[in-house]
Amino acid sequence: MGTVLAAEPDPQMTTTRARVYRFGVETAYKGLAADAKQVIVNPDNFTSCTTQYLPGKRYLIFGERLPGSAQIRSGGCNGSRLTEYAAEDLRFLEEYRLGKATNSVYGRVLQWVTTDGRPD
Q: What is the CATH number of the domain that holds 22?
A: 2.40.50
Q: Which secondary structure element, helix H or strand E, spans residue 5, and what is its range?
A: strand 2-9
Q: What is the pLDDT along the chain (120 residues), one digit of tens a residue?
A: 999 999 998 887 776 678 999 999 999 998 888 899 999 999 998 888 999 999 999 999 999 998 888 899 999 999 999 999 999 999 999 999 899 988 888 998 777 666 665 555
Give the pTM: 0.80
Number of domains in the chain: 1
At residue 45, φ and ψ (nearest 5 deg) are -55, -25
Domain that holds residue 43: 2-97
Residue 34 domain-assigned (yes or no): yes
Residue 114 domain-assigned (yes or no): no
Which amino acid is residue 59, in one-letter code?
Y
DSSP, collapsed to helix, strand or coil, labels residue 99 as coil
Residue 69 domain-assigned (yes or no): yes
d(CA 21, CA 103): 32
